[in-house]
Structure 1
Amino acid sequence: MMRGYSSRCRTGSSHNGVAMVLLFLFMATTCLVMAASSGDFFQEFDLTWGDRRAKILNGGKLLTLSLDQISGSGFTSKRAYLFGRIDMQLKLVAGNSAGTVTAYYLASEGANHDEIDFEFLGNLTGEPYIVHTNVYTQGKGEREQQFYLWFDPTKNFHTYSIVWNPQLIIFLVDNIPIRVFNNEERIGVPFPNKQPMKLYSSLWNADQWATRGGLVKTDWSKAPFTAFYRNFNADACVSSRCAKMSTNRVAPPNRAWQTQGLDPRSRRRLRWVQKYYMIYNYCTDLKRFPQGRPKECYLRV
């Protein structure tokens, strides 16, 4: 299941047998369990719905989801993660994909769930896909940002990534940041740092809202619609003990994502995307928040 497996533990110096035993027990209970995925869809995911419309092919290296007039389809990771970097290559539904939504997201369970969303809203042939992003904390979302892409996501595979650590969440497309959500708990903004999340993906019909606010309906004569997935990688914390990372009382990090932020080059790329390709930002939608925008909207990324 795992290509690599390691742990980083808190250690201390000791010169007697009792202390060494105590240290061993401490290490066994406080290690941060890290894992890098194998990229094998058979080992990493369960096909959860769609009655054979979801398929794992090529010896576990390719996964497809399909949608027809009867049903869509979906899959879920076998493991839950609490912080990490998630990468997946997708090739989206080609042609007239209006009305369809390909969702790719992390989510915990329950009414007060946390969630980190990519959703790809289909469109008429020749019109651009919309990338819809959102962050839910304690069951509350309403933090939407939407973007066009600077390429055709149906022609080739592209990499869509989520970096999630105790400081921030970064949404990336081909390693270019398109959105950052910082941990601003200091000013009362909830941040997802306690609930492990599984990775979900689904292809479904949402023609009541997905394309031009629902004005364009799904053309079922073009069905089945199919999205393709490959090269999944999760360099992530897979143990609930990783909640200790959010307290800043853990060992020095041993994974780049644990302290990853935006360097000057990444900030320039983020500004470029948000200047030329962002089409909606909840923080600038003043009509939506007549009593005042959410607190995080007053802070600079």
Structure 2
Amino acid sequence: MGVSSNGLVGKLLVLNLVMVVVVLVMSSTAYGAGNFLEAFEPTFGGNRVRVSGPQNTQLALTLDRGSGSGFRSKREYLFGRIDMQIKLVPGNSAGTVTTFYLSSDQRTGRHDEIDFEFLGNLSGQPYTIHTNVFSQGQGNREQQFHLWFDPTQNFHTYTILWNPQLIMFKIDETPLRVFRNYENEGISFFPKVQPQRIYASLWNADDWATQGGRVKTDWSKAPFSATYRNFNIDTSPNGAWRTHDLDANGRMKLRWVQKNYMIYNYCTDWNRFSQALPPECKKSGV
């Protein structure tokens, strides 16, 4: 039976659409579609690392008197966008630290690192969000924030976007911090050559984590648990992350966060850097 020209065109359009969908699926770098068992492996804690949910899309870390727990990606990445939904330890979380970060091999002594750390507190008090950047083993680029929501009641999406121009920390698409690469202006501090793995952990740090170590972990509240889910790893060569920067709306949100919720900025700590602030502090958009 013959096929009309209109019918042939329709079939070709359907075929092209199917091919486009196949190409998009094959080029996706959402590794394992969020399957923790495929993309990650435990680093410590044994059975305190628990994967669950349909297609292994949820992972819980537990801390008790015996140990904390953690996991890391099986692969290393040089640049990309990493999204992770996290629900933090509820109630009295004083002394606990929950993390989500990138790090190169620390055994070299000159590792690179990009940190989200969530410092627990007494019930009713806000978490402290601690961010830091390391390059070639040197850190001391901390900024700290409180949050405009309770991070223990629901999952929120925490994002590390790392490209050759900048590192951006985001929460639910709201930029929290931008750390830029000023190499073209003679400032060499920026992680750009060492691939890094994705890490997460829950551990006890009551010697420093809560109010400088004045508030200790209440082990009667143990075990403590934090939950991770719905991660996405985008390293696609043509991904929007490669050239992503703040637009006008992003700059407005960043100013709002830093005005209302920043509680520490290394670039204003003259007591700590009495000789001279780190050179990137003279630039805008740190």
TM interval, short-chain normalised: 0.7 to 0.9
1:133-212 pair list within 5 angstroms: 133-186=131-184, 187-212=186-211
**Residue type of the partner of 1:219?**
D
Which residue in the other structure is 2:214 paired with?
Answer: 215
2:74 to 78, 83, 102: 78
Question: Residue 5 of structure 1 contacts residue 36 of structure 1 at CA under 8 Å; is this kept in 2?
Answer: no
The one-character-per-residue Cα deviations of 1:98-148 (angstroms, maximum 9, x if unpaired) are 000001100001211100000000000000000000000000000000000
So what's the TM-score if we normalise by structure 2?
Answer: 0.88
Question: Residue 168 of structure 2 contacts residue 175 of structure 2 at CA under 8 Å; is this kept in 1?
Answer: yes
Shift of 1:4: 4.1
How far apart, CA to CA, are the structure 1 residues paired with 2:147 and 2:25? Answer: 33
How far apart, CA to CA, are the structure 2 residues paired with 1:210 and 1:195? Answer: 29
- Going by fraction, where is helix more abundant, 1 or 2? 2
**Residue type of the partner of 2:218?**
D
2:65 to 58, 69, 74: 69
Which residue in the other structure is 1:261 paired with?
Answer: 245
Query: Residue 166 of structure 1: SS of its match in structure 2?
Result: coil
Which residue in the other structure is 1:233 paired with?
Answer: 232
**Residue type of the partner of 1:290?**
S
How far apart, CA to CA, are the structure 1 residues paired with 2:165 and 2:57? Answer: 33
Structure 2: segments with no counterpart, 5+ residues = 1-23
1:296 to 258, 280, 286: 280
Q: CA RMSD in A?
A: 1.2
1:88 to 80, 84, 89: 84
Query: Residue 254 of structure 2: SS of its match in structure 1?
Result: helix
Query: Residue 149 of structure 2: SS of its match in structure 1?
Result: coil
- Going by fraction, where is strand more abundant, 1 or 2? 1
> May I ask how many residue pairs the two structures share in their alignment?
257
Out of 130-139 and 103-112, give the one that drifted further. Answer: 103-112
Which residue in the other structure is 2:6 paired with?
Answer: none
1:45 to 35, 40, 47: 40
Question: Residue 60 of structure 2 contacts residue 225 of structure 2 at CA under 8 Å; is this kept in 1?
Answer: yes
How far apart, CA to CA, are the structure 1 residues paired with 2:259 and 2:248? Answer: 16
Question: Residue 137 of structure 1 contacts residue 191 of structure 1 at CA under 8 Å; is this kept in 2?
Answer: yes
How far apart, CA to CA, are the structure 2 residues paired with 1:61 and 1:4? Answer: 18
Shift of 1:43: 0.6
How far apart, CA to CA, are the structure 1 residues paired with 2:242 and 2:233? Answer: 13
The one-character-per-residue Cα deviations of 1:193-212 (angstroms, maximum 9, x if unpaired) are 11110000000000000000
The one-character-per-residue Cα deviations of 1:147-179 (angstroms, maximum 9, x if unpaired) are 001000000000000111000000000110000
So what's the TM-score if we normalise by structure 1?
Answer: 0.83
Which residue in the other structure is 1:104 paired with?
Answer: 100
How far apart, CA to CA, are the structure 2 residues paired with 1:147 and 1:209? Answer: 17
Q: Matched residues, percent identical? A: 61
How far apart, CA to CA, are the structure 1 residues paired with 2:171 and 2:74? Answer: 24
